[in-house]
Amino acid sequence: MRWIDSLEEAAAEKLPEPLHRYFRQGSAGGISVGEAVAAWSSYRFRPRVLTDVSTVDISTTVLGTPVDLPVLVAPTTMQRQADPDGEAAMSAGVAAANSVLGVSSNAGTTFADIGAAGAAWWLQIYVVKNREVTVRILDAAVAAGARAVVLTADTPVVGRKEDDGPTVWEVIQPGHLLANLVANDYTADDLAKADDLTPDVIGWLGERTGLPVLVKGVLRGDDAKRCVDAGAAGVIVSNHGGRQLDGSISTAQALPEVAEALAGTGAEIYVDGGIRRGEHVLAALALGARAVLVGRPALWALSVGSSTGVTRLLRELGAEFEHALRLSGCRRISDLTPDLIAR
């Protein structure tokens, strides 16, 4: 069996069931999470022949940071429940693969420790009802060297999970979330997600941090354009791994519309959700993404193999992508164009 495909089951042997379920699950009826991988696999390629692919290059830059491969790690929570070193181990694993790490604003490790573990990282932010609390997280991330702010825009409220059994909240150990806020310095109300956000928040985040802002959770071309017009450096096409509005279209389906809407703007487009194979990366980049992010595979790899598991995951996805690139008749990422995909 392919190692990447074995990870979810291997993680089940190590993790408490409520945590494994939390990583795996989608919201509500699980429609979007269930469709994500198949949507990427449904693309068909039109490879070129008789091109010289003796030398290929899969390196690129993401918001100006050089990376060895166009596969980044998406921001996720509960990493210290999966591995004692949590986000620090994730960071070390990402650094060894020379990729970029998305760090959840709910992280259970301090931003300083995550940065010290080596990876170039982007702060994912949930803007919460108490903007003072949001500012504390932003300032801590800037001080610890975050290179960008990823505004998660698809979460005015947290998507409903239909749990059958005890939830992860009943097993989580104290201190494994929100390590970047002073304990007892906020209330549950302070931390409720802001549900009144408009594109103005993009400018506010950029001014407060001095960092480029990506908007995560975009599934429509018109929204992508609104974000970029409001100052975003780019967007992450995402349905939050099928954990927000269930029945949202797959990111494989949404990406072409977003790429069309942002053509010529210079904005960078990223995509996540269901990307599990090098061929999925090939399709995403041909359709206009600059790089992809993986969420659950990185959590499984962390659970099973700590930092070396994360490095292996990224390297294997990179190697698969390189192989697919060669087979497509392309030598570098900039050779990938939408005509590689059959209409």
250 near ligand FMN, judged by CB under 6 A: no
159 near ligand FMN, judged by CB under 6 A: no
178 near ligand FMN, judged by CB under 6 A: no
277 near ligand FMN, judged by CB under 6 A: no
76 near ligand FMN, judged by CB under 6 A: yes
238 near ligand FMN, judged by CB under 6 A: yes
Among residues 225 and 243, whose Cβ is nearest to ligand FMN? 243
Task: Annotate 171-224 with DSSP letters as a single string.
Answer: TPPTTSS-TTS-TTSS-HHHHSBPS---THHHHHHHHHH-S-EEEEEE-SHHHH
**Which residue's beta carbon is nearest to the bound ligand FMN?**
295
The one among 32, 98, 99, 124 contacting ligand FMN by CB under 6 A: 124
237 near ligand FMN, judged by CB under 6 A: no
User: CA-to-CA distance for 112 and 90, rounded, in angstroms?
Assistant: 14
How many other CB atoms are there within 10 angstroms of residue 117's CB atom?
21
User: CA-to-CA distance for 90 and 312, rounded, in angstroms?
Assistant: 12
Among residues 91 and 152, whose Cβ is nearest to ligand FMN? 152
Distance of CA 30 to the CA centre of its chain: 19
36 near ligand FMN, judged by CB under 6 A: yes
Q: Looking at the annotation, which residues are catalytic? A: 240
104 near ligand FMN, judged by CB under 6 A: yes
**Near ligand FMN by CB under 6 A, which window of 4-12, 158-166, 288-296, 319-327?**
288-296
Record the tokens describing residue 250, joined without a space: 């797959």
Maximum CA extent, the chain: 64
- Can you give the length of the chain in residues? 343
Tracing tokens 């960092």 back to the chain, one arrives at: 211
Shortest distance (Å) from residue 296 CB to ligand FMN: 4
> Distance of CA 290 to CAs 142, 327, 339, Å?
24, 20, 16
Residues found near ligand FMN in the complex (CB under 6 A): 22-23, 36, 74-77, 104, 106, 124, 152, 216, 238, 240-241, 243, 272-275, 294-296
